[in-house]
C-alpha cells in the first residue's frame, strides 16, 4: 500500500465509482484484506482525502464488493482438518468443514449476516413475548427440500428436538438448555417455550448445529440449502451443485467442492498454485508468502479467538489470586500481537470479549499492561517460585506466546516449566485437568454466550473452575434486559469480574486468517468462524 491515492478528492461526495480502476482495486483489496476501518482512514488522511470522504469511500467500496455478483463458475475450498469423522448430521458438527457443508446443504431458522446482524432464514419472522420467555416463529412458505418434499413446521420440531432429552448427543445441547419445548402452531408457525427468558435465542438458532433437516432423517445431505449434494466421502471431499429450486436468489456459483488439506504448507502452496480458490487457516509463518504472491489475498478478520492460559482455581497454584495476577502482568501483549501473530491480532485484557463483539465489549476497562515489576511483586506475594504449564498447539501462536512468557518469567527469577503435549487427545486428557493449561475458543456470536460457556458458575466447560455467584446472576439477568445502556453496564461488570477474579490469562486475540484467490468476492463479514463465519457458500461469487 505504498502507492498514494490521487489527492485532489477532498470533498465529502467522493464515491467508489469516481475512482480509477487502479484505485478501486486498492480500496477493494484494503477492504477485503482485513484492514480495519481505522487503517483505511489513516491511509486516506495521509494521502489527503478528508475523513468524511474516506468514510464514504470505504462504505461505497464495501458495497461495491457485495453489490454486483456474477453468476457462474465453481470453487474448490480447502479446510484445515477432515477425516473419517466428517459429518452431515448438524447436531454433531464440530469442525469448519462440517459447518461449511452444513451451510451449503441446509438452512437454519435464523442467519448471521454481515457484522453479526441477524436475519430470518427459514423463519420469516421471530417475535418474543414481553419477557422473552416465549418466541413465536413464522416459517417461510413454498420452500422445498432437495428431494422435492415441502418444508413445514414438522421438520423444525423434529430437527430442534434432536438437541433435547436424555438420548441427545448434540454438541450444543447445553447451550440450548434454556429451551423447554417446541410447539407446532400450524403447518408454518412454531412456538419456542423457554425455561428462563432469553433475548439472545435468535442467535442460538443461527448456530452451525441448529440447521434444519427433513423430518425423520439424520442428516443424509437432503436439506433446503443453496447447494445439493452430489457426492460425499468423509475425509476426502464433497461435491455440490447449485440448487435450481432455491427459495432465495440462489447461489452464484454453479458448483462447489469442499475438501481439506491438512498440511499447512501444502494448503498455502495449493492456494498460490491455484489448485484451490479458498483456504482456511493461514499460518502466521506464511503471511508474507501469501501477501507477496500474485493472484491471492490474505483475508484477515478481527475476531475474539482467544489465546488463553487457564490457571485452575480449584488447584494449586491457580487458587492463589496473586499467582494469577503475576501471570497476567508478565504477558507482553503488544509483542505477542506484533511478533507472534504478525500484527494479525488484537491485544486482550484477560477477558474473552473483544471489540469484535461490538457494543457488548467493555472498552472502559483499563488495559492491563506488561509490567515485570508488578508480576515479580505478585509472584513473591503468592509464595510460589515455580510452576508448570502444559501447552499444545491448539491455536496458532499459543506455543510461542507461552515460550515468551517463560522467557519473561526467567528474567524476574520465576521458574516456569513448559511441557509441550500433542493436540491429539488434548481436550480429554489435559484441558480442564492439568493445573495450568492452554485453551482457545471459537468466537461465540454473543458476549453473553461466550462468557456463559466459559465462566458460568458450574458450567460444563468452565475451564478455570472459577465459580462466582454474582457472575451467575448477571449472566442470567442480562438476557431479559432490553435497554442498551443497562445491558452495557452489566456486560462491563461481568468483564470486570473476569478480568479481576478468574483464573484466565488472555493476552491476545488472533484474527481469523484465511486466503482466497483475488477474484473470489462476496465473503460476508461474520467473525464467528473461518471465511466469514462459514456463511460464504451462498453469497460468494467469482469476478
Partner 1 sequence: MMLNMVLRRIWIGLATMVVVSVIVFIMTSILPGDVAQIVLGQSATPETLAALRAELGLDQPAYIRYFLWLGDMATGDLGTSKAGGAAISDLIGGRFGNTMLMAGLVAAISIPISVILGLWAAMHPGTWLDRTVTFGTLATISVPEFFIATLMVLILAVNLHLLPSTALLRDDMTFFELLRGLAMPIITLVIVVSAQMIRMTRAGILNVMNSPYIEMAILKGVPRQRIIVRHALFNAIGPIINVIALNLAYLVSGVVIVETIFAYPGLAKLMIDGVQTRDLPLVQACAMIFCGTYVILILIADVGSIVSNPRLRHPK
Q: How far is the CB of 420 from partner 1 (least distance, A)?
A: 15
424 binding partner 1? (CB under 8 A): yes
294 binding partner 1? (CB under 8 A): no
Q: Which of these ranges, 227-235, 319-327, 329-337, 509-517, lies near partner 1 under the rule CB under 8 A? A: 227-235
Residue 181, phi then psi, degrees to nearest 5: -160, 145
190 binding partner 1? (CB under 8 A): no
Characterize the bridge pairing of strands 504-517 and 278-279: antiparallel
Binding residue for partner 1 (CB under 8 A) from 7, 12, 83, 343?
83
Characterize the bridge pairing of strands 179-186 and 386-391: unpaired
Q: By CB under 8 A, what part of segment 231-250 binds partner 1?
A: 231, 233-237
Binding residue for partner 1 (CB under 8 A) from 3, 167, 373, 483?
167
First to last CA, the chain: 22
How far apart CA 32 and CA 36 sit, in angstroms, is 10
Q: What is the H or E stretch that residue 477 is in?
A: helix 469-477
Binding residue for partner 1 (CB under 8 A) from 76, 242, 487, 488?
76
Q: How far is the CB of 253 from partner 1 (least distance, A)?
A: 16
Residue 44, phi then psi, degrees to nearest 5: -65, -45
Residue appearing with cell numbers 423434529: 158
319 binding partner 1? (CB under 8 A): no
**8 Å CB contact between 357 and 447:** yes
Binding residue for partner 1 (CB under 8 A) from 4, 37, 71, 169?
169
Please write down the long-range contacts of 160-168, taking CB distance under 8 Å and 24 or more positions apart.
Answer: 160/192, 160/210, 162/91, 163/91, 163/209, 163/210, 168/91
Q: How far is the CB of 519 from partner 1 (least distance, A)?
A: 17
Q: Which residues contact 336 (CB under 8 A, 6 or more apart)?
A: 307, 345, 347, 397, 400, 401, 404, 507, 508
168 binding partner 1? (CB under 8 A): yes
Q: Which of these ranges, 48-56, 75-83, 240-248, 304-312, lies near partner 1 under the rule CB under 8 A? A: 75-83
How far apart CA 258 and CA 237 sit, in angstroms, is 6
Q: Which residues contact 210 (CB under 8 A, 6 or more apart)?
A: 90, 108, 109, 159, 160, 163, 172, 176, 204
Binding residue for partner 1 (CB under 8 A) from 126, 158, 384, 461?
461
340: cell is 507472534
87 binding partner 1? (CB under 8 A): yes
185 versus 266: smaller Cβ distance to partner 1 = 266
**DSSP alpha helices (H): ranges in 205-341?**
264-273, 287-292, 321-329, 333-335
195 binding partner 1? (CB under 8 A): no
Binding residue for partner 1 (CB under 8 A) from 136, 152, 174, 217?
174
Q: How far is the CB of 230 from partner 1 (least distance, A)?
A: 9
Binding residue for partner 1 (CB under 8 A) from 85, 119, 131, 334?
85
525: which strand partners?
A: none
Q: By CB under 8 A, what part of segment 272-291 binds partner 1?
A: 272-276
How far apart CA 529 and CA 513 sit, in angstroms, is 10
Q: How far is the CB of 286 from partner 1 (least distance, A)?
A: 12
Q: How far is the CB of 237 from partner 1 (least distance, A)?
A: 7
124 versus 257: smaller Cβ distance to partner 1 = 257
Q: How far is the CB of 440 from partner 1 (least distance, A)?
A: 9
94 binding partner 1? (CB under 8 A): yes
SS3 107: coil
Q: By CB under 8 A, what part of segment 254-273 binds partner 1?
A: 257, 259-263, 265-266, 269-270, 272-273
234: cell is 468423509
300: cell is 484477515
Interface contacts to partner 1, rule CB under 8 A: 76, 78, 83-87, 89, 92, 94, 166-174, 231, 233-237, 257, 259-263, 265-266, 269-270, 272-276, 424-425, 427-429, 431, 441, 460-461
Amino acid at each position: 500500500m505504498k502507492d498514494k491515492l490521487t489527492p485532489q478528492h477532498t470533498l465529502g461526495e467522493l464515491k467508489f465509482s469516481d475512482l480509477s480502476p487502479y484505485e478501486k482495486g486498492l480500496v477493494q483489496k484494503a477492504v477485503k484484506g482485513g484492514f480495519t476501518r481505522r487503517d483505511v482512514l489513516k491511509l486516506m488522511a495521509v494521502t489527503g482525502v478528508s475523513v468524511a470522504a474516506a468514510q464514504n469511500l470505504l462504505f461505497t467500496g464495501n458495497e461495491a464488493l457485495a453489490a454486483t455478483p456474477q453468476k457462474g463458475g465453481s470453487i474448490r475450498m480447502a479446510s484445515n482438518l477432515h477425516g473419517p469423522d466428517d459429518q452431515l448430521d448438524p447436531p454433531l458438527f464440530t469442525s469448519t468443514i462440517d459447518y461449511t457443508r452444513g451451510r451449503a446443504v441446509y438452512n437454519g431458522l435464523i442467519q448471521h449476516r454481515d457484522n453479526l446482524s441477524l436475519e430470518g432464514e427459514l423463519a420469516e419472522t421471530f417475535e418474543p413475548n414481553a419477557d422473552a420467555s416465549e418466541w413465536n416463529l413464522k416459517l417461510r412458505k413454498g420452500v422445498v427440500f432437495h428431494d422435492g418434499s415441502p418444508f413445514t413446521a414438522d421438520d423444525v420440531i423434529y430437527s430442534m428436538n434432536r438437541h433435547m432429552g436424555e438420548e441427545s448427543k448434540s454438541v450444543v445441547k447445553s447451550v440450548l438448555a434454556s429451551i423447554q419445548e417446541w410447539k407446532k402452531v400450524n403447518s408454518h408457525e412454531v412456538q419456542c417455550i423457554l425455561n428462563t427468558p432469553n433475548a439472545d435465542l435468535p442467535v442460538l438458532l443461527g448456530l452451525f448445529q441448529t440447521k434444519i433437516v427433513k423430518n425423520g432423517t439424520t442428516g443424509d445431505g437432503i436439506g433446503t440449502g443453496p447447494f445439493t449434494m452430489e457426492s460425499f466421502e468423509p475425509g476426502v471431499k464433497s461435491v455440490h451443485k447449485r440448487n435450481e429450486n432455491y427459495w432465495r436468489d440462489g447461489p452464484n456459483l454453479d458448483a462447489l467442492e469442499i475438501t481439506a488439506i491438512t498440511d499447512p504448507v501444502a494448503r498455502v502452496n495449493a492456494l498460490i498454485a491455484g489448485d484451490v480458490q479458498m483456504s482456511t487457516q493461514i499460518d502466521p509463518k506464511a503471511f508474507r508468502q501469501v501477501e507477496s504472491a500474485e493472484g491471492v489475498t490474505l483475508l484477515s478478520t478481527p475476531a475474539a479467538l482467544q489465546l488463553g492460559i487457564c490457571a485452575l482455581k480449584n488447584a494449586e497454584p491457580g487458587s492463589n489470586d496473586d499467582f494469577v495476577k503475576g501471570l497476567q502482568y508478565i504477558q507482553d501483549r503488544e509483542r505477542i500481537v506484533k511478533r507472534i501473530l504478525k500484527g494479525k491480532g488484537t491485544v486482550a485484557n484477560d477477558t474473552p470479549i473483544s471489540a469484535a463483539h461490538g457494543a457488548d465489549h467493555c472498552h472502559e476497562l483499563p488495559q492491563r499492561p506488561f509490567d515485570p515489576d508488578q508480576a515479580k511483586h505478585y509472584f513473591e506475594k503468592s509464595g510460589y517460585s515455580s510452576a508448570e504449564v502444559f501447552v499444545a498447539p491448539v491455536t496458532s501462536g499459543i506455543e510461542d506466546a507461552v515460550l515468551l512468557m517463560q522467557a519473561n518469567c526467567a528474567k524476574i527469577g520465576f521458574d516456569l516449566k513448559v511441557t509441550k503435549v500433542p493436540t491429539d487427545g488434548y481436550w480429554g486428557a489435559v484441558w480442564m485437568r492439568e493445573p495450568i493449561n492452554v485453551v482457545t475458543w471459537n468466537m461465540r456470536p454473543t458476549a453473553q454466550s461466550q462468557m456463559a460457556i466459559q465462566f458460568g458458575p458450574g458450567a460444563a466447560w468452565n475451564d478455570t473452575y472459577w465459580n462466582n455467584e454474582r457472575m451467575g446472576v448477571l449472566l442470567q439477568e442480562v438476557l431479559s434486559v432490553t435497554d442498551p445502556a443497562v445491558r452495557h453496564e452489566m456486560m462491563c461488570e461481568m468483564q470486570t469480574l473476569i478480568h479481576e477474579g478468574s483464573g484466565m490469562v488472555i493476552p491476545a486475540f488472533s484474527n481469523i486468517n484465511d486466503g482466497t484467490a483475488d477474484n473470489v468476492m462476496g465473503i460476508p463479514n461474520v467473525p464467528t468462524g473461518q471465511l466469514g463465519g462459514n456463511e460464504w457458500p451462498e453469497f460468494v461469487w467469482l469476478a
